[in-house]
Amino acid sequence: MASQPALTEWNSDLLDCFENASTCCYGFWCCPCLACTVAGRYGENRCLPLCDIISPALCVICEIPLIVPPAVLSLRASMRGRYNIKGSLCKDIIASCFCMWCSWCQMHRELKYRHQPPTVINVVNQTVITQPPPVVVMNPNPAPPPYYVSQK
């Protein structure tokens, strides 16, 4: 039975907006742009967050109650699963409903943290000496095969 990897915490808290000023300023001035960037960096369609913007209007028109923004919730739950982050679906729903843009900012900071450039390690090449295979010389005048005489 394979052991599961240890669960980790989010790299930053939900309300750590001033920890990374570039994310917060970006999210403050253009929240939909930040959300679309997060979706794209995560590998999803960049237009996915538009569901959170358009779906409330459609639900009002169709008289369907919508409480949870679907894109931020699904992306947040998926990110927790992929990176083995502690939490629960209930906490994801609360963060998505009451702090949707803070949740997008937190996911943006998490992706920046997870996709840091890798550390480069230089490996010194070692010289390996191999001997060539032995040379096989074929006899240019092979002896004729012996003749057999049968006796009856």
Q: How confident is the model at residue 1 (pLDDT cuts 50, 70, 90)?
A: low
* Residue found under tokens 């998926």: 78
Could you list the residue range(s) of the whole structural domain that residue 103 is in?
20-113
Torsion angle (degrees, nearest 10) of CA 104, 106, 109, 113: -130
Q: Which residues fall within 8 angstroms of residue 20, CB to CB, at 6 or more apart?
A: 12, 109, 112
Tell me what the pLDDT averaged over the chain comes to. Answer: 79
Q: Is residue 1 part of a domain?
A: no
Domain membership of residue 70 (yes or no) is: yes
In a domain? residue 125: no
Residue 130 lies in a domain: no
Residue 133 lies inside a defined structural domain of this protein: no
More confident residue, 145 or 54: 54
* Token pair in block for residue 72: 């931020």
Residue 141 in domain: no
- Residue 53 counted as domain residue: yes
pTM of the model: 0.66
Is 122 inside a domain boundary?
Answer: no
Count of the separate structural domains present in the chain: 1
